[in-house]
Amino acid sequence: TQLLEQSPQFLSIQEGENLTVYCNSSSVFSSLQWYRQEPGEGPVLLVTVVTGGEVKKLKRLTFQFGDARKDSSLHITAAQPGDTGLYLCAGVLFSYDKLIFGTGTRLQVFP
């Protein structure tokens, strides 16, 4: 059973388009992190959200943590080829320290 489900699994879009990636669970998390991973490299942290309803912006990327702390979304405005990669959400359950990763969303942005 996958604790964190991401959708879509694959996304292939043209440069300039907007997109949203969803990360959903039936569990409540104390915090949630988003990472981007390129082939042959480790995940690189993009953002950490810790408060229900929290919204964080990182240039063209907007991250939201659900009010109930069970879900999160990543919205990219005007996607660029440099945004191509595997996007992973990862949550931390209360009283635990390990990350539980989502299934991943592979994004390809064509020029």
Partner 1 sequence: DTGVSQNPRHKITKRGQNVTFRCDPISEHNRLYWYRQTLGQGPEFLTYFQNEAQLEKSRLLSDRFSAERPKGSFSTLEIQRTEQGDSAMYLCASSTRQTDQPQHFGDGTRLSIL
Question: Which residues of the chain form contacts with partner 1 (CB under 8 A)?
Answer: 4, 30-31, 33, 35, 40-45, 48, 50, 88, 90, 92, 97-104
DSSP 8-state secondary structure symbol assigned to residue 16: T
Would you list the DSSP string of 41-86? Answer: S--EEEEEE-STT-EEEETTEEEEE-TTSSEEEEEESS--GGG-EE
CB of 15 to partner 1, least distance (A): 25
Whole-number Cα distances in Å, 17 to 36, 42, 54, 70, 75 = 19, 27, 24, 27, 11
Nearest CB to partner 1, comparing residues 43 and 66: 43
CB of 49 to partner 1, least distance (A): 9
Nearest CB to partner 1, comparing residues 59 and 98: 98
CB of 2 to partner 1, least distance (A): 9
Nearest CB to partner 1, comparing residues 17 and 38: 38
